[in-house]
Amino acid sequence: MIGKITLGWQLLRNMGLRYVSYRVWYEIERRMGWMKRAYPVDPPPRQFVGLEEWRRERPPFFFSGREALSFPKRPSEALQKKVEHFRAGRLRFFQAEWLDIGRDYDWLTNPATGHRYDAGRHWTEIADFSPVAGDIKYTWEKSRFTFLYDLIRYDYHFGEDQAETVFAEIDSWIAANPVNRGPNYRCSQEISLRILNWTFALYYYAQSPALTEERFQRLLHVIYWQLKHVRANIHFSRIAVRNNHAITETLMLYLSGLLFPFFPEAARWKRSGKRWLEEEVRFQIYKDGAYLQFSHNYHRVVVQLLTWAFGLAERHGEQFAPLIYERARRSLNFLYQHQVPENGRLPNYGSNDGALFFPWNDCEYRDFRPQLNALAYFFRREHLYAEGPWREDVDWLALPPSTQVREGVELQRKDLAVFDSGGFYALRDRDSLSCVRCGKHRTRPAQADNLHLDLWYQGRNILRDAGTYRYNTDPEWVAYFNGTLAHNTVSLGGHDQMLKGPRFIWLYWSQALQTDWKETDDLLEFAGSIRAFGQLGRNIVHRRRVRKYKNRPIWKIEDEVIHRTGLPLWQVWNISEDFESLGFRIRATDENGSELEPVRRKAWYSGRYGEKEPSAAILFQTHTATIHTEIQRT
């Protein structure tokens, strides 16, 4: 059990006085009921603009309506099956499992546990983590309205009008979710995404007879009060969370002024939103393009949000500060350098909750090509990848020929890609990609994975990150998937590199000390060291050296841990089925040259949020300070 003094000191040291004092005051306000004044219930309706006036004078969007789109129609079996699932009352959760939630889902029930939230309770009285209710993300998933893109794409590609279905779903949600009550007002990011997705549908069906005056007014009323909610709670995301939530919400405030200028506060929201969005991008995206959440999937989330921001700002004749575009370009390069060309995938690195906010294509969820291509197209006005389904995002964004000279993005995969600010290193040759993490934690880490090594061979992930599984589940699963043994690095006697605190908190953060890298005619090499295991003793250092022989399936790894704990050194390798089917083997020796016996352990793998499956790990153990390892295809 972590002592309260230790926990408090570590929180103050790691997160800072601003964070700690804000969180304490926020909880006091919430528990005392004072916050309710800022989030009224049952607000009276008011008319901001009539439907016909809006149709005549609606602000520019990606497109003016369904009738304005003319890209090739490509009806696909995959899209048809998605819509068939929807019509049968099934919804895909977190881009993973299909769950039967019924055709008349009530928007309040967690389908994983059956718990039904009280729609009459003020959102401040609802916990987002509850053993009884289960993971609230299951309740939020349909209310995000990402499924609308399946219906809209089906409407376009198959030529079958879905307007009534789309607006009926929105009507149903509004009826079941009174303003500022219930679980679906608990998270401002979820609210922001819902508004963005409703807005996309509103513009697509702008001229549809299904969009009546009554529906339009009801929709604007709820959008307005959801925006007021986002604005009232924006500093929680900007101080207490400070991740992709803050980028989503500040973007939504900025876009509210572009797309809903008839709201009284819209101009003020737009100014503040733009300023805060620029501040968040400067803070969250490092100068080399790495992202502060140490998660490739959340980094992709930011790429999609910035594509919205840049595309709509351009249509309204606006620009962001030059540094914002530069950070976006560097983000694009960062993700591109970590991508395998065979299937568009990246390592399943860091937290991954299945987020894919705007699915405008039929590509598999782990394929990053659609999103990287769309942002690259904004800068280059040419596609990043050859012809394929990953180009459809650009069709929906309807980006016109550039009206201004903009610096392009020259993307070429490197043999040795170094992102020293973020602490990421990618070694690439003809058939393989080797990714190493060696980072300094300036913001809170999500997983105890420093010096993790991810190996890909011919597009297949042979040594992998175990994934995330769920944020709100049994403590042992949270500890496992976030812990060191779920990654390809070392442990001292099974202990994590850091000490797990409550919820998303880690104590005694690991920190990179030194890194070095080099390339020769036949070798790619990385060397790095971290300070870790602070809960076990002072000045414990882990040094790792990775050598990849060019165009040969051979890796040599050397791990050394300097410590006086008396604990054995464990080296862990989470292998996939492909590791063995492709004929790879692994052997290790200690510092005396004695061969170490590989121990095959039961492990777990979560390729998608909410799902886990049995897997395997290979462990080497020694009481010496060093392990020398060779991985080779036989």
Which helix (H) or strand (E) segment is 253 a member of?
helix 244-259
Q: Tell me what percent of the residues of the chain surpass a pLDDT of 70.
A: 98
Q: How far is CA 519 from the centre of its chain?
A: 32
Q: What integer pLDDT is reported at residue 136 of this predicted model?
A: 94
- Band of the pLDDT at 408, cuts 50, 70, 90? low
Which pLDDT tens digit goes with each residue over 529-588? 999 999 999 999 999 999 999 999 999 999 999 999 999 999 999 999 999 999 999 999
Q: Read off the pLDDT of residues 50-103 as tens digits, 9 standing for 90 and up.
A: 999 999 999 999 999 999 999 999 999 999 999 999 999 999 999 999 999 999
Tokens 């009806």: give the residue.
75
Task: Collect all residues with Cβ–Cβ distance below 8 Å to 428 and sequence separation of at least 6.
Answer: 337, 413, 414, 415, 416, 417, 434, 524
Q: What is the pLDDT of residues 302-353, one digit of tens each?
A: 999 999 999 999 999 999 999 999 999 999 999 999 999 999 999 999 999 9
Ordered by where they begin, the domains of the chain are 33-232 (no CATH), 285-412 (no CATH), 416-633 (2.70.98.70)
| pLDDT classification of 1: cutoffs 50, 70, 90 | low
List of residues 6+ apart from 570 with CB closer than 8 A: 485, 490, 491, 492, 493, 494, 619, 620, 621
Evaluate whether 551 touches 621 at the Cβ level (below 8 Å).
no
Are 620 and 631 spatial neighbours (Cβ–Cβ below 8 Å)? no
Provide the pLDDT for residue 23: 82
Helix, strand or coil for residue 186?
Answer: coil
For residues 58 and 396, what is the distance between their CA atoms, to the nearest angstrom?
18
- pLDDT tens, 182-197? 999 999 999 999 999 9
CB 109 within 8 A of CB 99: no
CA pair distance 48, 45, nearest whole angstrom: 10
Query: Smallest Cα–Cα separation from 250: which of 268, 225, 275?
Result: 275
Residue 506 predicted with pLDDT over 50? yes
User: What pLDDT is recorded for position 402?
Assistant: 62
Residue 6 pLDDT? 73
Mean pLDDT for all residues in the chain: 95
- Using pLDDT thresholds of 50, 70 and 90, give the confidence band for residue 10: confident
Contact 350, 450 (CB under 8 A): no
Global pTM reads 0.95
CA atoms within 13 A on the CB side of 172: 15
- Tens digit of pLDDT for each residue in 417-475? 999 999 999 999 999 999 999 999 988 899 999 999 999 999 999 999 999 999 988 88
Q: How many residues does the chain have?
A: 634
Whether the CA torsion 392, 394, 397, 401 is positive or negative: it is negative
Q: Lowest mean pLDDT of 104-108, 270-274, 500-504, name the range.
A: 500-504
The dihedrals phi and psi of 575, each to the nearest 5 degrees, come to -100, 150
Per-residue pLDDT band for 406 (boundaries 50, 70, 90) equals low
pLDDT tens-digit series, residues 150-171: 999 999 999 999 999 999 999 9
- With 60 as the cut, is the pLDDT of residue 404 above it? no
Question: Taking the mean position of all CA atoms in its chain, how far away is CA 102?
Answer: 28
SS3 state at 402: coil
pLDDT at 405 over 50: no
Of 113, 170, 171, the C-alpha closest to 139 is 113
Which of 88, 66, 96, 65 lies closest to 158 in space, CA to CA?
Answer: 66
Supply angle C-alpha 584, 588, 589, rounded to 5: 160
Q: pLDDT: is 4 or 103 the higher one? A: 103
Output phi, psi for 460, to 5 deg: -115, 135
- For residues 5-34, average pLDDT: 81
Residues 370-390: pLDDT tens digits?
A: 999 999 999 989 999 999 999
Which residues, in sequence order, are CB contacts of 543 under 8 Å at separation 6+? 527, 528, 529, 558, 559, 560, 561, 562
Cβ neighbours of 80 (radius 10 Å): 14
Residue 472: per-residue pLDDT: 85
354's enclosing H/E stretch is: none
Q: What is the CA radius of gyration of the chain?
A: 25
Bridge partners, residue 455, by sequence: 434, 463
Q: What is the dihedral of CA 314, 319, 321, 322, to 10 degrees?
A: 60
Could you give the percent of the chain with pLDDT greater than 90?
88
Q: Does residue 471 or residue 256 have the better pLDDT?
A: 256
45: confidence class by pLDDT, cuts 50, 70, 90: very high
Quick: pLDDT tens for 106-132: 999 999 999 999 999 999 999 888 888
| 572-591 pLDDT tens trace | 999 999 999 999 999 999 99
User: What average pLDDT does this structure show over 605-609?
Assistant: 95
DSSP string, 3-67: -HHHHHHHHHHHH-HHHHHHHHHHHHHHHHTGGGGGS-SSPPP--SS-HHHHHHHPPP-S-S-GG
pLDDT of residue 410: 74
Quick one: pLDDT at residue 246? 98
Closest by Cα among 430, 418, 573 to 490? 573
The burial class, CB within 10 Å (0-12 / 13-18 / 19+), for 388 is middle
**403 pLDDT higher than 70:** no
Closest CA to 533 of 510, 556, 566: 510
Of the candidates 553, 625, 618, 629, the one whose C-alpha atom is nearest the C-alpha of residue 592 is 625
Closest to 487 (Cα-Cα) out of 448, 526, 513: 448
pLDDT in tens, 232-241: 999 999 998 8
CA angle, corner 182, sides to 176 and 188, nearest 5? Answer: 110
Q: What local confidence, expressed as pLDDT, does residue 530 receive?
A: 98
- pLDDT score for 505: 86
Task: Convert the pLDDT of each residue in 339-358 to its tens digit.
Answer: 999 999 999 999 999 999 99
Structure token pair of residue 311 = 């595309």
Residue with tokens 């390809």: 488
Give the model's pLDDT for residue 8.
75
**Bridge partners, residue 432, by sequence:** 457
Burial 163-201 (b: 16+ CB within 10 A, else e): bebbbebbeebbeebbbbbbbbbbbbbbbbbbbbbbbbb
Q: Are β-strands 453-457 and 432-437 bridged in parallel, bridged antiparallel, or unpaired?
A: antiparallel
> How many C-beta neighbours within 10 Å does residue 566 have?
10
